[in-house]
Amino acid sequence: MHCSIPDPALRWDIFCQVIDNFGDIGVCWRLACNLAQRGQIVRLWVDDASALAWMAPDGAPRVEVRAWTTPLDLAGIVPGDVMIEAFGCRIAPEFIAIYASNIRARGQKSIWINLEYLSAEDFSARCHGLPSPVMFGPGEGLAKHFFYPGFTKDTGGLLREPNLLVSRAQFDRDAWLAGLGVEWRGERLVSLFCYEPAGLGDLLDTLAHDTQPTRLLVTHGRASEAVREEISRKMSLKPLWSKREKLLISYLPQLTQTEFDHLLWACDLNFVRGEDSLVRALWAGKPFVWQIYPQDDGAHGPKLDAFLTWLQAPPSLRRAHDIWNGLNTSAAADPQRPWLTPQNLADWQAAVELARQTLLGQDDLAQALITFALKTN
């Protein structure tokens, strides 16, 4: 019998600045936990850790959270073997200085990783793993390496816990819904995690007037606010807008990362936003529609198109994404709404399942980082 040998334990320092919407801290926390689950020792430096109080209230073994202050409090700190600057943040120069001094004293190579945003665009594979010499500052003479998460074998992969599929198989939907106080009676379940999507009003109309009852499980925060505002607008214009009572809405409390996975596993269709929830929707293996983070220069359009091309999305799923993201005026004017026909949902399910099986044949992001760090060291 072949026995796998655990990777040697490296010490990792991950730096994260919280910009908005909790995406940065969500990905960095999952990464820290994924590394720790593989025997690594992780220190997460974050400038605002408040979201972890509800996102991961129990913490995680082998993960230490440190405040990223200015200046950085380095009393008693010995830098680890690997530095990760996540999503374009700049590691505190005082930390870089002691890291550089420490590895030189030990005769080790620099393992300094610039972890980039997730994209299916071609540049991710072209630039993945490339070195960038540091020409000035406290890290002068060291080198960073660009590390691109991605959907193909020539990128860094996606975050995936070692026990994820086992947990998914053991999930009890009825018990989970009951624990949330959701009185589910077999109606279709749809989750909603969004910003303020262009297609929200259209989706609510479709659900309210469909022949099949639907329970919409709406996440806390911007999604709940958007739904309440849109329904209030509809009711002011047409008080009997939802008189058929085919649409039931449950507003959810803030969910931990584990509970968010459970939400996606429980539903028949998921609406997700941003980077972290896109990956979780793929692992859930259910039909989903992604709201990509909108950018003023329109760069989100080609990024979404690249993802849908990789997914081999059927035409109906592309139309749904166009309407949801407000990217295609001709799609928005199409009277044939693509949301919930049985054939469309079956086609979306097949595309997601094929993509998930492909991804399961590739290294996940944490394992790819460990392999890269050990090879570099």
Beta strands in the chain (DSSP E): 11-16, 41-46, 63-67, 82-86, 112-115, 131-133, 143-147, 188-192, 214-218, 247-251, 269-273, 288-291
3-state DSSP assignment of residue 231: helix
3-state DSSP assignment of residue 196: coil
Q: Measure the CA–CA gap between 260 and 281, rounded to whole angstroms.
A: 10
Supply the residues annotated as catalytic: 24, 275
Q: Measure the CA–CA gap between 170 and 168, rounded to whole angstroms.
A: 5
Q: Measure the CA–CA gap between 150 and 119, rounded to whole angstroms.
A: 6
Tokens of 294: 């909108």
3-state DSSP assignment of residue 248: strand
Contact 159, 147 (CB under 8 A): no
Q: Measure the CA–CA gap between 370 and 268, rounded to whole angstroms.
A: 35
Cα–Cα nearest to 10, from 39, 44, 46, 45:
39
What is the residue type of 366? A
Ramachandran category for residue 360: left, alpha or beta (phi over 0 → left; psi -120 to 50 → alpha): alpha
Residues 6 or more apart whose CB falls under 8 angstroms from that of 189 comprise 214, 215, 217, 266, 267, 268, 269
Q: Measure the CA–CA gap between 21 and 374, rounded to whole angstroms.
A: 33
What is the residue type of 245? E
